[in-house]
Amino acid sequence: MTSGPKADPGRFFEDFRLGETIRHATPRSVGNGERALYIALTGSRFALSSADSFAQRLGLPGAPLDDILVFNVVFGRSVPDVSLNAIANLGYAEARFGAAVFEGDTLTASSEVIGLKENSNRETGVVYVRTTGINQRGETVLAFVRWVMVRKRDRGAPAPETVVPNLAPTVAAEELSLPAGIDLKGYDAGLAGGPHLWDDYRPGETIDHVDGMTIEESCHMTATRLYQNTARVHFNQHAESGGRFGRRIVYGGHVISLARALSFNGLANAFRIAAINGGRHVNPCFAGDTVYAWSAVTDKTALPGRQDAGALRLKTVATKNRPCGDYPAEGPDLVLELDYTVVLPRR
Amino acid sequence: MTSGPKADPGRFFEDFRLGETIRHATPRSVGNGERALYIALTGSRFALSSADSFAQRLGLPGAPLDDILVFNVVFGRSVPDVSLNAIANLGYAEARFGAAVFEGDTLTASSEVIGLKENSNRETGVVYVRTTGINQRGETVLAFVRWVMVRKRDRGAPAPETVVPNLAPTVAAEELSLPAGIDLKGYDAGLAGGPHLWDDYRPGETIDHVDGMTIEESCHMTATRLYQNTARVHFNQHAESGGRFGRRIVYGGHVISLARALSFNGLANAFRIAAINGGRHVNPCFAGDTVYAWSAVTDKTALPGRQDAGALRLKTVATKNRPCGDYPAEGPDLVLELDYTVVLPRR
Amino acid sequence: MTSGPKADPGRFFEDFRLGETIRHATPRSVGNGERALYIALTGSRFALSSADSFAQRLGLPGAPLDDILVFNVVFGRSVPDVSLNAIANLGYAEARFGAAVFEGDTLTASSEVIGLKENSNRETGVVYVRTTGINQRGETVLAFVRWVMVRKRDRGAPAPETVVPNLAPTVAAEELSLPAGIDLKGYDAGLAGGPHLWDDYRPGETIDHVDGMTIEESCHMTATRLYQNTARVHFNQHAESGGRFGRRIVYGGHVISLARALSFNGLANAFRIAAINGGRHVNPCFAGDTVYAWSAVTDKTALPGRQDAGALRLKTVATKNRPCGDYPAEGPDLVLELDYTVVLPRR
């Protein structure tokens, strides 16, 4: 008996071709189960994604799924093709959230290779992809760029021409979108959990989100499996016990989920993430770590054509095992820096 | 940069005013995901909340959500306003379950401050609230009184006039309600899992529920987040490692869930919790503890106007790491005493 | 006060009668919550049970629930009656999957006692049951035989006549069924995640599924509770700490789920499990173990009357803490041998 080459070893650096579009597998319907699990795994409390009646009062058909849940589901599609042999997820840019995702929608994704750069050690390279998630009607729900360091299968494989994409430092206000049909006139801030609207924030302001959430192995693995993300470092203690850290690494998208959920305390009315301008997993998180977060308002802009909502650019920093009352900006405790744009109702 | 006062520190004792009604945040739609997660986190097996077809045979539109799931969701709404700075959840009374909750319903809650009593140490006080949960049609799904010991922000703050509400020792039979339209003629006890109907129980009878359920950190945190309960003691090991117990405390409502789920073995046909007359978390539970339970039938009453169902008043006692074959009534192993009223079909 | 005999101690060996049919309790509606939880607990990625749009393109009303989820739910119904006092789940045979299960269906189950054999130690016996799960329309969704070793209550109870059923070594091709109405013309293998169709596999071929999944206490308990399986060995650390292994045993059906989910890598288009010919939990699994799996194609048959699909008979072996690159067939690391039949699209 011989083994057929049926199992997929994942792509190595030399398998990526500039300009190719990779169609990802496993279409995914997302529904009430995903919504409930996301709340149960993160503690998210944003009213718009928690209650149909709240969303319907604003003109939507029901509660849209949390934007970071959508991010994680789209990201999950791309993992078997893009990052199964990745050493590190280096960064994000140009993430634009599009059509809102509702219960019953089915998401699929594809990625275009937009940059390649072999590292000088010839053992790894950086792959830049633009991943696009669409719903069953073909509407884009999210597109984002990420770059990952990927192993080469063969050190001797020739290096591709180096192409590093020119990425926008921020998603422009014209490209920020809200769920179709939403009208914030009826927005009930008291019911959403905080009195502060767009008008009440100012650039330079910092907010300690106060609370901390401890991560358990079961919680981060369950969240990551929910997204059908298959990256081995999150799941296989037997292999990781001999790996770089001796243990499983928490999927960075789960840390983003926790930071966003914690940010409710101070940003309760930031009902929509419209863009991720940039992001970096500064240090890895492990089971047993407690995640804290703080945010700085780095910019504030009106939204073209809308009097009912405005955008805030935020930098949210998450730490492990370190409260954020003093707004730490560096150090080994930092796990996440996320530069993103949220939308809040205006007075 | 200075910090804006955007994050909510929670109310301290001196922030509560007798007679005020606090409208709680985060409306919550509950659906199939919550039902499945509740079963997966507790092991609940009551047929009425497990199967649409079982409920439809009794005249309901579908399976109502488990009463304790509803309790925990309504309770969860109240935590950020009532008990974020609570030291202890002291007791429950006068809990009446109203309209059944079905998949797709949205729950909101408010609490009226009905009592205040500063403690003699001047550092804490007891707050009594009556919390009411309603559905999207404004129907009350649950109202209950609880009292909690809350820290003062400022020891020197003046004490309010002491008002301790006069609470009924039991919810009267006239106030017990069943899901609207339910008709128990078609109730299939065999399918529900036990031969014993209301007629078969007698006051004074005790039932050992036999089974035990071990609590893991991930399980109790996932359950508590499912309810969007934000009390810090359940989630933050980093902070709790320096706290009173050195570890996270299991949310008492999860212990109630487990005790109710365990009680299936002996009370399989107690399809409805109609009231909680009183309850006390006798000792805290921690991850690693195994919960057992036993129940005593303390009273038995007909339901006004119904020949198809009757009520049993129960005292269910839950213990940790101690089987209940000898019906323990006191000691450091006790974690819960719950005095409540269930409804069973009659022959 | 005396205890009424209300709690169910479960059946002992001498309580089973040859030929009797036991109607199991707790009808169960399965929906979007179960689907999402199953993915989150196992990491399953088969497209057909992941996406409504994928299933609809093949003529189905929506995504059917994963076959092993259905197996575990039906199995769970039978535990309180069949295996509460079981020492070991010895084997499976003649499992035929019938009507596909969709969100909103309600499953009930019954078991016929088809064999009894007291062991020579007179303390235990083997019970053979054929368990049948049906949906709310009375259609069989699954029928299977399992045999378990069950304790006697009373060593002196007389032995029943020994009857060992004559079990088919394999489910015949004529008995394999597909979801009603499915037409695989529109099957999109690229979207499903692998290029290999029925035509590409050959008997004798072996496939290493590469990945490993570490089991946590919380994960296996949550999965097992999801199925309302009440077997004590999975849940009660307090009791098990004095038991055979000193710890909780992972439910064997969860190991089957993990092995099936891992098998996606190499068998992505095996969209349907049509039969389980035999199965054995070779060794127990515990929290902390990492499950790996490999499969051998043991047979390949056309399906009567279908040009669009064919069947593969597989032997999938799961191990603990041992990668399967060398296709281990025996040893203390083996946890599962499953002989089953899957269906794949044909070219």
Residue A276 φ/ψ, nearest 5 degrees: -115, 115
Query: Considering only CB atoms, which residues of chain A are within 8 Å of chain C?
Result: 1-4, 6-9, 23, 25-29, 31-34, 36-37, 80, 103-104, 106, 108, 136, 216-219, 221-223, 225-226, 228, 230, 232, 235-239, 248
Sign of CA pseudo-dihedral C238, C242, C246, C252: negative
Chains touching C, CB cut-off 8 Å, 3+ pairs: A, B
Gap between the Cα atoms of A232 and A227, Å rounded: 14
Best mutation target, C29, C141, C254, to test chain B (most B CBs within 10 A): C29
Nearby residues of A120 by Cβ (< 8 Å), 6 or more positions away: none
Question: Which chain B residue lies closest to A63 (C-alpha atoms)?
Answer: B29
**Average pLDDT taken over every residue of chain C:** 96
Number of neighbours of residue A199 by Cβ within 10 angstroms: 12
Burial class (CB in 10 A: 0-12, 13-18, 19+), A331: exposed
Gap between the Cα atoms of A187 and A58, Å rounded: 7
Q: Which residues of B touch C29 (CB under 8 A)?
A: 50-53, 63
Beta bridge partners of B313: B299, B341
Flag whether pLDDT at C3 surpasses 90.
Answer: no
Q: Which residues of A touch B221 (CB under 8 A)?
A: 214, 216, 219
Structure tokens, B207: 């039932």
Question: Which chain A residue lies closest to B31 (C-alpha atoms)?
Answer: A32
Best mutation target, C39, C82, C103, C225, to test chain B (most B CBs within 10 A): C225
pLDDT confidence bin for C2, thresholds 50/70/90: very low
What are the tens digits of pLDDT across the range A216-275? 999 999 999 999 999 999 999 999 999 989 999 999 999 999 999 999 999 999 999 999
Residues belonging to chain B: 347
Q: Are B212 and A178 in contact (CB under 8 A)?
A: no
Minimal Cβ distance to A221: which of C204, C211, C219: C219
Minimal Cβ distance to C7: which of B34, B42, B207: B207
- Verify whether the Cβ–Cβ distance A201 to B4 is below 8 Å: yes
Strand B334-345 relative to strand B290-302: parallel, antiparallel, unpaired? Answer: unpaired
Query: Considering only CB atoms, which residues of chain C are within 8 Å of chain B?
Result: 1-4, 6-9, 23, 25-29, 31-34, 36-37, 80, 103-104, 106, 108, 136, 216-219, 221-223, 225-226, 228, 230, 232, 235-239, 248
Distance from CA of B102 to the nearest CA of A (A): 13
Distance from CA of B50 to the nearest CA of C (A): 5
Burial class (CB in 10 A: 0-12, 13-18, 19+), B301: middle
What residue has token string 């946890």? C335
Structure tokens, A323: 């409260």
Distance from CA of C206 to the nearest CA of A (A): 5
Mean pLDDT, residues C16-36: 98
Q: Which residues of C touch B268 (CB under 8 A)?
A: 25
Mean pLDDT, residues A176-203: 96
Distance from CA of B121 to the nearest CA of C (A): 39
Flag whether pLDDT at C147 surpasses 80.
Answer: yes
Give the pLDDT of residue C1: 36
C243 vs B291, C80, C237, CA distance in Å?
A: 18, 20, 9
**A-C contacts at Cβ under 8 angstroms:** 157
Gap between the Cα atoms of C105 and A32, Å rounded: 16
Minimal Cβ distance to C228: which of B34, B45, B204: B45
Q: Which residues of C touch A27 (CB under 8 A)?
A: 47, 50-51, 53-54, 191
Structure tokens, C62: 């929506």
Distance from CA of A36 to the nearest CA of C (A): 8
Nearby residues of A240 by Cβ (< 8 Å), 6 or more positions away: A232, A233, A246, A247, A248, A249
What are the tens digits of pLDDT across the range A190-229? 999 999 999 999 999 999 999 999 999 999 999 999 999 9
Question: Which chain C residue lies closest to A34 (C-alpha atoms)?
Answer: C36
pLDDT confidence bin for A134, thresholds 50/70/90: very high
Distance from CA of C91 to the nearest CA of B (A): 25
Question: Which chain B residue lies closest to C223 (C-alpha atoms)?
Answer: B40
Beta bridge partners of B131: B111, B144
Question: Which chain B residue lies closest to A30 (C-alpha atoms)?
Answer: B33
Residue of C294, C152, C151 whose CA lies nearest to C211: C294
Minimal Cβ distance to B32: which of C33, C221, C235: C33
pTM of the model: 0.97
Mean pLDDT, residues C74-97: 94
Distance from CA of A205 to the nearest CA of B (A): 6
Q: Are C25 and B54 in contact (CB under 8 A)?
A: no
* Helix axes A32-42 and C32-42, enclosed angle (nearest 10): 50
Give the pLDDT of residue B2: 38
Best mutation target, A8, A26, A78, to test chain C (most C CBs within 10 A): A26
Question: Which chain A residue lies closest to C324 (C-alpha atoms)?
Answer: A3
- Verify whether the Cβ–Cβ distance A40 to B218 is below 8 Å: no
Mean pLDDT, residues A313-323: 98
Question: Which chain B residue lies closest to A50 (C-alpha atoms)?
Answer: B28
Gap between the Cα atoms of A13 and B161, Å rounded: 73
SS3 call for A5: coil
pLDDT confidence bin for A8, thresholds 50/70/90: confident
Q: Are B12 and B87 in contact (CB under 8 A)?
A: no
Structure tokens, C120: 């020579």
- Verify whether the Cβ–Cβ distance C51 to A106 is below 8 Å: yes
- Verify whether the Cβ–Cβ distance C26 to B47 is below 8 Å: yes
The low-confidence residues of chain B, meaning pLDDT below 50, are: 1-3
**B-C contacts at Cβ under 8 angstroms:** 157
- Verify whether the Cβ–Cβ distance C37 to B40 is below 8 Å: yes
Gap between the Cα atoms of B229 and B87, Å rounded: 15
| H helix or E strand, kind and range, residue A261 | helix A252-262
Gap between the Cα atoms of A311 and A68, Å rounded: 17
Question: Which chain A residue lies closest to B138 (C-alpha atoms)?
Answer: A53
| H helix or E strand, kind and range, residue C262 | helix C252-262
Gap between the Cα atoms of C233 and C283, Å rounded: 15
Q: Which residues of C touch A109 (CB under 8 A)?
A: none
What residue has token string 């559905």? B135
- Verify whether the Cβ–Cβ distance B39 to C226 is below 8 Å: yes
SS3 call for B135: coil
Give the pLDDT of residue A3: 40
Long-range contacts of C157-161 (CB under 8 A, 24+ apart): C157/C13, C157/C14, C158/C14, C159/C118, C159/C122, C159/C125, C160/C14, C160/C16, C160/C17, C160/C18, C160/C116, C160/C118, C160/C125, C161/C18, C161/C116
Question: Which chain A residue lies closest to C216 (C-alpha atoms)?
Answer: A218
Gap between the Cα atoms of C312 and C339, Å rounded: 11
Question: Which chain C residue lies closest to A29 (C-alpha atoms)?
Answer: C51
Chains touching B, CB cut-off 8 Å, 3+ pairs: A, C
- Verify whether the Cβ–Cβ distance A4 to C202 is below 8 Å: yes
Give the pLDDT of residue A1: 36
Gap between the Cα atoms of B90 and A173, Å rounded: 51
Q: Which residues of A touch B104 (CB under 8 A)?
A: 52
Residue C89 φ/ψ, nearest 5 degrees: -90, 105
pLDDT confidence bin for A87, thresholds 50/70/90: confident
Q: Which stretches of chain B are DSSP H helices?
A: 32-42, 52-57, 67-82, 189-192, 217-226, 237-240, 252-262, 264-267
Q: Which residues of B touch A211 (CB under 8 A)?
A: 230, 232, 235-236
Residue of B47, B117, B127 whose CA lies nearest to B89: B127
- Verify whether the Cβ–Cβ distance A26 to C218 is below 8 Å: no
- Verify whether the Cβ–Cβ distance C192 to A28 is below 8 Å: no
Q: Are B337 and B282 in contact (CB under 8 A)?
A: yes
Residue of A222, A221, A219, A254 whose CA lies nearest to A237: A221
Distance from CA of C235 to the nearest CA of B (A): 5
What are the tens digits of pLDDT across the range B38-65? 999 999 999 999 999 999 999 999 999 9
Best mutation target, A39, A258, A315, to test chain B (most B CBs within 10 A): A39
**Average pLDDT taken over every residue of chain A:** 96
Q: Are C276 and C339 in contact (CB under 8 A)?
A: yes
Give the pLDDT of residue B88: 86
Q: Which stretches of B20-94 are DSSP H helices?
A: 32-42, 52-57, 67-82
